[in-house]
Amino acid sequence: MDYYSSQISKLIEELSRLPGIGAKSAGRLAFHMINMPKEQVEQLASTMVQARSQVRYCRECCTLTDEELCPICASTERDHKTIMVVENPRDLGAYEKTGKYNGVYHVLHGAISPMLGIGPGDIRLKELMERLQRDVEEVIIATNSSLEGETTAMYISKLIKPTGIKVSRIASGVPVGGDLEYIDEVTLLRALEGRTEL
Ligand code: ZN
């Protein structure tokens, strides 16, 4: 039985498709939106559409950006011979917040997970290997310390080893299964400084 107007039901249904939003929260959000000033709803909607259409992947590191090159890749102040490999743009943000890393990044957009059927071809590995054709001295693998993160780290190090480029892994001070984003800066820095060559 449809006891809401079909428009509201549709809105609830769309919202509940978002990650972390269950049916209850979707309902709350939907009714909140209905009561918001019309201009505010329009602004929210247009911001979402604009973000979706204008945000793209950096040509170099594959992070999300508005330009062809993200500000980090475009910077001449950064050390472009050191590449830190992270799983997602939020991890990049976590390291940037420490303000102590001066190299560049490579964002994989995921990790290898045989259980979920995510293979090496499903993450941005090919792009990383292409970058290594150029002048690179060290690749720091900073994937999460979850099973997927470790699997990915191992896979990447095996790929890179034959090229002779130094490969290191951040120290395991990062809690197992911990999303890098939620780890404090001191822990992140310790993990980076204590990295070991693979
Ligand atoms: Zn970039």
CA 106 – ligand 1 centroid, Å: 7
DSSP 124-164: THHHHHHHTTSS--EEEE---SSHHHHHHHHHHHHHHGGGT
Tokens of 117: 């059927």
Gap between the terminal Cα atoms of the chain: 60
CA 157/CA 193 separation, integer angstroms: 19
pLDDT of residue 2: 62
CA 64 – ligand 1 centroid, Å: 8
CA 105 – ligand 1 centroid, Å: 7
pLDDT at 182 over 90: no
pLDDT of residue 181: 66
Distance of CA 33 to the CA centre of its chain: 29
Element (H, E) at 82: strand 79-86
CA 124/CA 151 separation, integer angstroms: 15
CA 17 – ligand 1 centroid, Å: 30
pLDDT at 197 over 70: yes
Q: Is 197 helix (H, G, I), strand (E, B) or coil?
A: strand
- Tell me 163's DSSP state: G
pLDDT of residue 192: 84
**More confident position, 190 or 78:** 78
CA 33/CA 39 separation, integer angstroms: 11
pLDDT tens, 15-54? Answer: 999 989 999 999 999 999 999 999 999 999 999 999 999 9
CA 29 – ligand 1 centroid, Å: 34
Could you tell me which CATH number the domain at 78-191 has?
A: 3.40.1360.10
Q: Looking at 55-59, 123-127, 177-181, which range is the least confident one?
A: 177-181
pLDDT tens, 68-114? Answer: 999 999 999 999 999 999 999 999 998 898 888 999 999 999 999 98
Domain boundaries, the chain: 78-191
CA 152/CA 21 separation, integer angstroms: 29
Residue 97: other Cβ atoms inside 10 A: 13
CA 59 – ligand 1 centroid, Å: 7
pLDDT tens, 123-177? Answer: 999 999 999 999 999 999 999 888 899 999 999 999 999 999 999 998 865 554 5
pLDDT at 186 over 90: no
Predicted TM-score of the model (pTM): 0.77
